[in-house]
Structure 1
């Protein structure tokens, strides 16, 4: 029996040693985890702290980024939350009610717009009102203004969209009278007052250069876009419970009656025409003389010691002006579509430009294809090679920023080309688009095809703008109807 006992004892000792080893190993792992956690925590921003909030403390934390939130020790619920570049004062508190606890939350404002003491006064008012009246119903709370709702709720939502900046710009520029009004107090009467004012008011100048120019009242189509932007905001507020319902739901704007504008209509019709042969020759002569003018300027600079400058006579184009204006002439694009043109939208092999029209992007965000005439395709290809044959990027980038040019970047150069070509100084850049359309109509191209080449969403737009171009079209159609004698 002795040998059996000795074997079992040795086995027990071995098993015990293994267990001790495993226990020690697991303890080592646990220690390692704790060490890693402590190392991770070092130098990392702590979530929050409780202290009396002061301006000095806020400014210090903006630099150190030590805390995400600082809760005030004096006023319950008053705190400041830190973002990457800024900090916002807030107030949040849960108050018992008949149906359980209700949460009251308000953004007071950004640090800088408010001092700590100013924010604390507002927080005290919130706290006092809560103690007296309880949590207010959002739909009855009139403290949220139209502007405040845009800034705090609607702007983050819109900036996630491709056309969000345009929508926000329409809201800020188009509704100045509603900005300080409570969003809960906006009703149908506000829409009718705004609509009446829009039909008579002039547009704000778009740039410093347009300050002294007289501008026309907004068109009905533009007014509809502004109305849609505001209506969308109110629907968003209703969806989030700030409004019980959208007060503008079901309301429609009636198109104004057609007015007899006399001279104005005659002028518009005169502008929407084809360029005559003399004007076309003047345009191309102006481009040649502009190119030579810039080359002579560069020659003089090189002769006067600036040897490092590139000789422009070695390049097909002295700058973007010539290919930009040729795009307007051959493609009939609006200026906004030329500025936003990208190389990935140009297919030299197939001979098409495929892009979304900027003016109607918010309504029809799908790309459309536009045929490139061979003469234009060859010129654009030269510009493509001159820029290193890029696979993507802007066709006409800003030299300063590398991004899209400003909306009036071509104006000064276009004035030079007109001067060199002996063209009428009042000839607008849109003359190329009108020429593009009218030349097609006069050549017998049907209005549907013309409408597509212009990127119009509706053929009705083409008819309204260019239906007057050939007054004999209807006559020829009626004359083609066969007549038979009855007697």
Structure 2
């Protein structure tokens, strides 16, 4: 086996390393024992090779490990790296895998943790969109790259552009992911950079939301929806006409819609805090669904499909910043739910009926054991609320109320 001082000049010299037509030739460095350059027909690669004792046979055997290709590694870098690799091989320690990236931990977190569909949607809505430039960072560089200044600056940027709720929620998600990385890879990360937000008391203090459309704002809201895509416009309006949670609106599937009998079912994976429930359709909401059905493509699963290639879900998403930007109102998608409930109360309708229509669980003795209302029983109540919402959106405050017949009344 030839020996050669592995320098760039010698490696590039055809005199010292002639071209190889067949097979491979190993050149051992004269300065660092165990460092070698394997030369093939089209490549030159640095390795380390040492003889170690095989405890099972009592004999020595050669063990080799790749450093990297010449060109990607300089001789000086290979010579500096070789001693630690040689020591590890002699000690019989396994090869250390490179540290995973933050993106890899994020993807593993979603797989390993038992998260609800809604929580997974939350993570997927925040992490790739708001932390895209951080995802390719390997874990061993997180603490160095995500300095307190960098973390605080990103938090403030999200708070200013997406709202304090988005800032809190997105960094809580990121913090949970990095906490998981600390457990799995303590050799690469020992401190969660996002905890600076707690030490500096940066978390936004959020009061309970009470945003709701005032009577004079319904027409402003309706007119502003013309700036949205037809799918977004229909989804926002459908959510308002039923007072449902935003996720119940945009995740609605065609298999849960019965246009023939005028019903829709809103499903939940877990029944702990939210129940799956079926509601009647009003004249207005049926018109929306019929319009969506006519626009649906073959095999389309969701009533309100995703808009644009950047959306990673199969359905669109209703976001507070999007709604505020289009309408100019301080209104969240959940505020549409409050607007429906408040409209029903202004009409002096029974709160129990409104709660039933909006999927609120009635934990009273009467609600749990005696009340056996059906969706058809609540159809007149829903229609009354929708008529009032329609009136306010079309005519505004002060217009005359015209009660339109429901489908059930026409039969």
User: Could you tell me the TM-score, scaled by structure 1's length?
Assistant: 0.41
Which has the higher Rg, Structure 1 or Structure 2?
A: 1
